Structure 1
């Protein structure tokens, strides 16, 4: 391909690097990026807001394992997508945002031009792994290859490449062939040998698996069986060990009983987890024994959760080597299924008492959803309960805005996930207030004909915030907003709608929605639990 405008060639370079879908909104500054989209054979999804584009890219990436890519304009386009970028950074999601920026002579000049920011590159750097400017065509290709190399080999996260308008418009040489992808760091054999020695000496080993262990489910399950270990999983790690495993305490790390349980272990192995505030709601895990910690991010190995054996490397590779290093070892079980089951009953009861009416609906939904269903949830009380009581049998099937905790995630992320997963079932769960943030993206689901059930939990207020105010002895205020007729709103977009008032009716509505030819909003209230 002869030299053509760089903007027209970026889509070709992305296609050569495995990208299939772009989420975004065209504008006068980034229009050159759109010159090459169709020619390159890429699919473009026009979103209703750049925040929707970012969350769709996030949902697509979580569903497929491929980087989610978005095109946005200078200034407001970038600031609108910065919230999803922050969420992607918090949850280790591979995302690439390509934006325009002012021409090279105009950057940082303070002339109050269209879409001008004082320092767009620096602004995006606050919510990304890095934010850099492509000075020319060769510089753009180097940044692209750096992004994809890091997606493959390091802890995933969002990257931002901005291209000045004059650079987008200028002729540039075509991108070189993609380089070979690097492999992830593998821990040295001596680390596995030391971990095996510690495991052989343990009588009550306890694993804690996070989202970073999602690709390590097979060796993790074999190790659990061989060592008689019990486990907890973080919210992002649900499914690494099946919820049905008799020695799996589940995702109850934040429950009041969890520290006492963990304190009875004589060895803790934390694999692919940040041991974050949002999983535990306390500063310390609760153990009083040695810890082995495995993570791809060295920063995690130097945080306050200090381990006797910190291991830098890929979780799956390390657990496979650990299996081999254990030899024929099979431990006499120090944990019993009865103690785990009893603890789970107590912790579920605590969850149910905190936020009544929701757990029975979760049970009813689990009964009718196909086992391969992927769920995207928003920041809502329904999700907070489900993250604890809804066991997963496989990893990577429930996605939530865990750390950054942004409202408005569920619907657009589910749209991106559905685009990535095709015929596989996907559902979205949102609360009434959070739905307001991105409800305009319902138009995208209608436009694309996605058979996407959207479960809307309506308690008529920001009930979780009201609860926190009451706990803090603050008279609740600013927690009630006027809601629309959500079913009428959905129909106005061209979607279906249902308002079941019993669990049986809810099950029927979800089953029908999964078989439909477009999105269905399913309006739920506490009355649905009857």
Structure 2
């Protein structure tokens, strides 16, 4: 069969189960786009490639399958680089595909359209693996290798595949599509290490920290907590692994003094699928006691490092801990929970009533996307309860702005039968406001709740704390409902919790997006 490089790529995507890509067509990638329909692959076109990356990120988080982004060369793929960096930080599987400069011409700069000095190298500094395929046959082998990175035993992270524009157009005789890459079967940590960790955990006080890598082990985390009578605190990416109404749950709280004091004072910390990094604590990570770390990444420390699948490793650990039976819950837990809730409530008091209205309007399995906004990290992360059936998608480690709206598009495309709501600030929304047009074109019933504090409230507060005169942070918010209407969406202002709840319920049944502005006073 004689096929082009673009055809070879698309049939490889289809062979690996890809049925949707996010991206914008351009002069150099038309040979890719021309074959998508032949293989039943749907294309979602955002208004900016960064939005494509955030949408693919959320699609991957919701489905558990890689999100695929197809851009053009140069500015297209570099526009998506921030989203790829966010996916790397949060361990999200994403495939970024871009054309590159011709393989059959001199590599010296010639001023070609979209020419980049070292495009694959630039992406390689951001993602887990970047490769430039220089023949049609290599396109399929490189694609298979890319999916090997995305579905192997190692920590999931984004990868990039560059195909030169002349290779996309060239034809070569290829055999049947190569077999689909089969994921390496998940495996637990070695039995000896699990036994040693179990011996350590049979005595002393324990605190469990669940990160995004614990998402597929919710039942096992809950059982471990019950066996040890131990509280569970989560990172932003682990939010909802254990019901935040569970008596042993401390929710998202590593940044709170009461939780940090508990971690420092207990005998053992069990860390499941988390780096225990600076963005988790919002400060330099504290010195911790004996750490039992369950992770796919062997590069992390911990006295007891259990490298393996979280669910299988926890299952084996729980089996060893069942005899002599469950411990009574830590008697200090009620006091700890009250202190934690008081501190979280104090930090987020400005938003508690609004967040209660949001929670009351949503189904238990709703998906909430959030931005790097004060209402999200001070308010919703520690104070908006999430059940294991729901999801809260937040740009944690890299801390990008503009995530919530395009991520909500990706989440709704991934799960059309579930409610999806975006929470943003007025500053962050304007990084990606054009994606309202994408959501409107798709006819998505998507509420976008915007907490408007007139600029960049967090940075304003930091400047004031330094004794500086605020500079560049106070901005006039445009008429967001009018902008929403111009994009074909609905828009309204909700001056209080009751109005917000009513607007949300209407928006969830409206066949187009709705921007709901919640006015705030400046901090």
So what's the TM-score if we normalise by structure 1? 0.94
Over residues 41-88 of structure 1, what are the superposed CA-to-partner deviations in whole Å (9 max), with x where a residue is unaligned? Answer: 010011111111111111111111110001111100011000100000
Summarize the alignment of residues 60-209 of structure 1 with structure 2, pairs less than 5 Å apart: 60-106=59-105, 108-153=107-152, 154-172=154-172, 173=174, 175-200=177-202, 202-209=203-210
Q: Is the 8 A contact 2:129 2:159 kept in 1?
A: yes
Output one character per residue of 1:438-467: Cα deviation in whole Å (capped at 9) or x when no partner. 110110100010011111111111010001
Looking at structure 2, the residues matched to 475 and 347 of structure 1 have their Cα atoms a distance apart, in angstroms, of 33
CA contact under 8 A between 2:49 and 2:79: conserved in structure 1?
yes
Note closer, same or farther for the CA distance 1:329–1:241 as it changes in structure 2 (3 Å cut): farther
Alignment match, 1:452: 446
Match of 1:42 in 2: 41
Aligned to 1:380: 373
Q: Whole-Å Cα distance in 1 between the matches of residues 106 and 464 of structure 2?
A: 49
8 Å contact 1:217–1:395 — kept in the other structure? no
Contact 2:12 2:144 in 1 (8 A): no
Q: Deviations over 1:330-378 (max 9, x none)?
A: 2432513xx4343333334334444541122112211221101001101
Instruction: After TM superposition, give the deviation of residue 415 of structure 1 in Å.
Output: 0.1
Please report how far the alpha carbon of residue 312 of structure 1 lies from its aligned counterpart in structure 2 after TM superposition.
0.9
After superposition, the CA RMSD in angstroms is: 1.6
Does residue 525 in structure 1 map to residue 483 in structure 2?
no
What is the distance in 1 between the residues matched to 2:324 and 2:136? Answer: 56
Deviates more, 1:410-419 or 1:103-112: 103-112
Question: How many positions carry a matched residue from both structures?
Answer: 517
**Offset of residue 475 of structure 1:** 1.6
- Distance, in Å, in 2 between the alignment partners of 1:323 and 1:258 is 24
The question of 1:507 aligning with 2:501 is answered yes
CA spacing shift, 1:388–1:231, aligned 2, 3 Å: same
**Is the deviation greater in 59-68 or in 177-186?**
177-186
The answer as to whether partners of 1:431 and 1:456 remain within 8 angstroms in 2 is yes
Q: Deviations over 1:176-230 (max 9, x none)?
A: 1213321234311111111221122x23211111110000011111121122122
Q: After TM superposition, which residue ranges in structure 1, 4 or more long, deviate above 6 angstroms?
A: none
In structure 2, distance between residues paired with 1:168 and 1:185: 38
Q: Given that residues 62 and 396 in structure 1 are in contact (C-alpha distance below 8 angstroms), is that contact kept between their aligned partners in structure 2?
A: no
Q: Does 1:242 align with 2:243?
A: yes
Shift of the 342–390 alpha-carbon distance from structure 1 to 2, 3 Å rule, reads farther
Match of 1:230 in 2: 231
Contact 1:203–1:333 (Cα < 8 Å) also in 2: no
1:335 is aligned to 330
What residue in structure 2 maps to residue 304 of structure 1? Answer: none
Counterpart residue number, 2:308: 313
Distance 2:448 2:462 in 1: 27
Partner residue, 2:298:
298
Residues 221-277 of structure 1, C-alpha deviation per residue, up to 9 Å, x if partnerless?
112112212221111111122111212222111112222212331211111111121
Pair 1:412-2:406 in alignment = yes
SS of residue paired to 2:491: strand
Residues 76 and 195 of structure 1: CA distance in aligned 2, closer, same or farther (over 3 Å): same
CA shift digits 1:293-340 (9 cap, x unpaired): 111011223xxxxx211111111110011122224232432513xx43
1:141–1:196 CA distance, 2 compared to 1 (3 A)? same
Shift of 1:3: 1.2
Query: 2:240, 2:392 within 8 Å by CA — same for their partners in 1?
Result: no
Q: CA deviation at 1:167?
A: 0.5
**Structure 2: distance between partners of 1:322 and 1:61:** 29
Asked if structure 1 preserves the Cα contact closer than 8 Å seen for 2:209 and 2:272, the reply is: yes
User: What residue in structure 2 maps to residue 254 of structure 1?
Assistant: 255
Equivalent residue of 1:250, what SS? strand
| Matches of 2:60 and 2:327, distance apart in 1 | 41
* Cα distance in 2, alignment partners of residues 454 and 463 from structure 1: 19
Out of 357, 362, 378, the position equivalent to 1:364 is: 357
SS in 2 for 1:371: coil
Task: Determine the C-alpha separation between the residues in 1 that align with 2:339 and 2:494.
Answer: 30
SS at match of 1:484: coil
Instruction: Flag structure 2 segments of 5+ consecutive residues without an equivalent.
Output: none
Structure-2 residue corresponding to 1:265: 266
State how far apart, in whole Å, the 2-side matches of 1:107 and 1:459 are: 53
Aligned to 2:427: 433
Matched, 1:472 2:471: no
The SS at the match of 1:522 is strand
* CA positional deviation for 1:16: 1.5
Question: Is the CA contact 2:292–2:305 (under 8 Å) kept in the aligned structure 1?
Answer: yes
Matching residue of 1:349: 342
What CA distance in whole angstroms lies between the structure 2 residues aligned with 1:263 and 1:404? 26
8 A Cα contact 1:230 1:249, kept in partner: yes
Query: Separation in 2 of the partners of 1:107 and 1:298?
Result: 41
Partners of 2:344 and 2:198 lie apart in 1 by: 36
Segment of structure 1 superposing worse, 447-456 or 246-255: 246-255
- In the TM superposition, what whole-angstrom CA distance separates every residue of 1:486-505 from its partner, at most 9, and x where no partner exists? 00000111101121112111
